[in-house]
Structure 1
Amino acid sequence: MSAPATTAHGAPAAAPGRSIAAWWQAAPFTLVFALFFLVPLALIVMVSFWDFNEYELLPGFTFKNYVSIFEGCGALGDDMCTTVRTYLSTLKFSFLVWAITLVLGFAVSYFLAFHVRSPGMQTALFVLCTIPFWTSNVIRMISWVPLLGRNGLVNQGLMGAGLVDRPVEWLLFSDFSVTLAFVHLYTMFMIVPIFNSMMRIDRSLLEAAADSGATAWQTLWNVIVPLSKTGIIIGSIFVITIVMGDFVTIGVMGGQQIASIGKIIQVQTSYLQFPLAAANAVILLAIVLMIIWALTRLVDIRKEL
């Protein structure tokens, strides 16, 4: 029986045709990735450099769209340009929603992972968390209108209890209602990866921490949080990227009065200003990629994939 072939350094040589077989196995996934991600992205970048008028797109190469987006953005303060204000508003919603969903998602995941002992009950409660996803986002957003409206149940309850003399105006079509809808819609995207990370924690580590005299808060901060960091980062990427590009929620819950980058792109597209919308999309993509890059520097998310 012949010995396996080895390289000059003593390592086993690759079997003949093995590398070719690996390429063939990866080819379908590569093709799908190219067709549905790289090609559309390349087209968006290409169109962002085109010109346009009221009637047609004008293929070419111009920085006109990028210049018009940041026109008048040289000064800050009260004279801050519309683009900067809109990006700051979008980042504000992303940060608020990220912070709230992180707290809620971590609390729910911690309860399911460490306080629910029965696997069957864990599954049942986890499925219960997914119930909002059984209906469309629009239906879930509209369901807040009869609750938060001027004559909604919340205002009626507050006035009935004598807590306010007149309806509270900021409950609906405001930053509050937009943030509330975002949290309602996207908390599950934070729960799932954090719960997955917590379920992988070796329970003997918690016992060792308790035997060493660590309090519950010390165990949480020094053991559970570091070991759940990968899930936190993945959930953060999901929530931040979705909120950054969302325009439906802000349009419905903001009463078409609150601007966001996603809303601007949607409006520009509806007016057939495709090169301008593409330029905004490229800028938004660049910002989102920088945020993702910064988050992935904190932990190696490949451990969870």
Structure 2
Amino acid sequence: MSAPATTSHGAPSAAPGRSIAAWWQAAPFTLVFALFFLIPLALILMVSFWDFNEYELLPGFTFKNYVSIFEGCSVGLAGGDDLCVTLKTYLSTLKFSFLVWAITLVLGFAVSYFLAFHVRSAGMQTALFVLCTIPFWTSNVIRMISWVPLLGRNGLVNQTLQGIGLVDEPIEWLLFSDFSVTLAFVHLYTMFMIVPIFNSMMRIDRSLLEAASDSGASAWQTLWNVIVPLCKTGIIIGSIFVITIVMGDFVTIGVMGGQQIASIGKIIQVQTSYLQFPLAAANAMILLTVVLMIIWALTRMVDIRKEL
């Protein structure tokens, strides 16, 4: 009887037929990934180095688009002047991303904790979880517009506050402001934080919680030292979802900000509408680089592949 084939290190090698079968199984996903992600991304990168005028795109190779994006930034920083438009816009975008991430993390963790540890019935867990998905039964635009009659100058909130005598005049910052944009983002994307955190909590061995209680740990100590560390994977995945979506969003900021608040996504959308495709592509590549850096930093906190 012949011995199984081994590698140079003495480990058995995979059968050739099995290796070919694995490649065939991965081929459809690889084809879809290349066709709908890698090739479009390569085209955007290529166009970002083209030139353009008022009438047409000019294929070639130039750094003019990238230079124009950061034009005046180095002078402003060196001279102590105000930040350039690009850096201000990125700071504004990062501000919304951080605020929305922090709020959705608190809300998502609280809702997930309640569903996972305080709702005993599996049927009730399912019902409440489905209840959380109800906002997704309508489009984002409808959900955003629904805030306008509530937060507007003559909206329900202002009329109620004036009616009970808490304010004398309508509150202006409730709509078309940083507050309304952040509120809409939280409303739209909290579910993206709930799902992965809830999934992580449901995988926690309940005997660990009993062991912590038997050791004299309080509820807060159990939460911080047992539940939170075991939920790191869900927290990181939810954070990636929320941050990447907010960083590239332009519809929410445009509608809820009254077209008065700038973001990188909004700039790219405006440049595209004016047919400035090379400039928009350059901005998109810079935004992609920033988002990838954020994702890289988040994934350094936990090995997602190992945890999953």
Classify the TM-score, shorter chain: over 0.9
Deviation at 1:28, TM superposition (A): 1.2
CA distance in 2 between partners of 1:25 and 1:104 (Å): 40
> Shift of residue 5 of structure 1?
4.0
Note the alpha carbon deviations across 1:229-275, whole angstroms, 9 max, x for none: 11000000000000000000000000000000000000000000000
- CA shift for structure 1 position 20: 1.8
Partners of 2:147 and 2:79 lie apart in 1 by 36
Residue aligned with 1:28, SS = helix
Q: CA deviation at 1:24?
A: 1.6
User: Match of 2:293, SS?
Assistant: helix
Gaps of 5+ in 2: none
Per the TM alignment, residue 35 of structure 1 is displaced from its structure 2 partner at its CA by: 0.5
Following the alignment from structure 1 to structure 2, what is the Cα–Cα distance between the partners of residues 164 and 88? Answer: 33
Q: Against the structure 1 CA distance between its residues 51 and 6, is the aligned structure 2 distance closer, same or farther, given a 3 Å change threshold? A: closer
Alpha-carbon distance, 1:17 to partner: 2.2
Query: How far is the alpha carbon of 1:79 from its aligned partner?
Result: 2.0
Q: Distance in 2 between matches of 1:161 and 1:61?
A: 64
Q: Residue 44 in 1 paired to residue 44 in 2?
A: yes
What is the Cα deviation at residue 13 of structure 1? 3.2
Q: Tell me how large the CA RMSD over aligned residues is.
A: 1.3
- Aligned-residue sequence identity (percent) comes to 93
Tell me the TM-score normalized by structure 1.
Answer: 0.97
Q: Residue 250 of structure 1 contacts residue 258 of structure 1 at CA under 8 Å; is this kept in 2?
A: yes
Separation (CA, whole Å) in 2 of partners of 1:79 and 1:95: 22
Deviations 1:53-106 (A, max 9, x none): 000000000000001000111x57652111010000000000000000000000
- Stretches of structure 1 that go unaligned for 5 or more consecutive residues are none
Q: Can you list the C-alpha shifts for 1:3-45, whole angstroms capped at 9, x where unaligned?
A: 5444565433322322222212211111111110000000000
| 1:110, distance to aligned residue in structure 2 (A) | 0.2
Contact 1:45–1:282, Cα closer than 8 Å, also in 2: yes
How many residues in Structure 1 have an aligned counterpart in Structure 2? 304
CA offset digits 1:177-232 (Å, max 9, x no partner)? 00000000000000000000000000000000000000000000000000001100
Moved over 6 A (4+): none
- 1:286 Cα shift? 0.1
Cα distance in structure 2, aligned partners of 1:89 and 1:77:
19
Residue-by-residue CA offset, 1:261-303 (whole Å, 9 max, x unaligned): 0000000000000000000000000000000000000001114
Cα distance in 2 for partners of 1:13, 1:100 equals 50
TM-score of the superposition, structure 2-length normalised? 0.96
- Among 118, 121, 143, the alignment partner of 2:121 is 118
Aligned to 1:246: 249
The residue that corresponds to 2:210 in the other structure is 207
Matched, 1:284 2:291: no
Cα distance in 2 for partners of 1:208, 1:23 equals 45
In structure 2, how many angstroms separate the alpha carbons of the residues matched to 1:260 and 1:25?
A: 41
SS of 1:241's equivalent in the other structure is: helix
Question: What pairs with 1:257-268 in structure 2 (closer than 5 Å)?
Answer: 257-268=260-271
Report the Cα distance in structure 2 between the residues aligned to 1:49 and 1:143, rounded to whole angstroms: 41
1:109–1:191 contact (8 Å) kept in structure 2: yes
Distance 1:77 1:230, change over 3 A: farther
Moved more, 170-179 or 28-37: 28-37
Q: Give the conservation status (yes or no) of the 8 Å contact 1:231–1:304.
A: no
Q: Relative to 1, partners in 2 of residues 1:77 and 1:139: Cα closer, same or farther, differing over 3 Å?
A: farther
For residues 116 and 61 of structure 1, do their structure 2 counterparts lie closer, same or farther at Cα, with a shift above 3 Å needed? Answer: same
CA contact (8 A) 1:268 1:276 kept: yes
Cα distance, 1:2 vs structure 2: 5.5
Once the two structures are overlaid, the 10-residue window that deviates more, 100-109 or 18-27, is 18-27
* SS across alignment from 1:163: coil
Change over 3 Å in CA distance of 1:76–1:119 after alignment to 2: farther
Provide the C-alpha distance between the structure 2 equivalents of 1:77 and 1:6, rounded to a whole number of angstroms: 65
Cα distance in 2, alignment partners of residues 44 and 76 from structure 1: 34
SS at match of 1:17: helix
What is the alpha-carbon distance in structure 1 between the residues aligned to residue 24 and residue 58 of structure 2? Answer: 40
Identify if the C-alpha distance between structure 1 residues 147 and 78 changes in structure 2 by more than 3 Å, giving closer, same or farther. farther
Aligned counterparts of 1:83 and 1:3: Cα–Cα separation in 2:
65
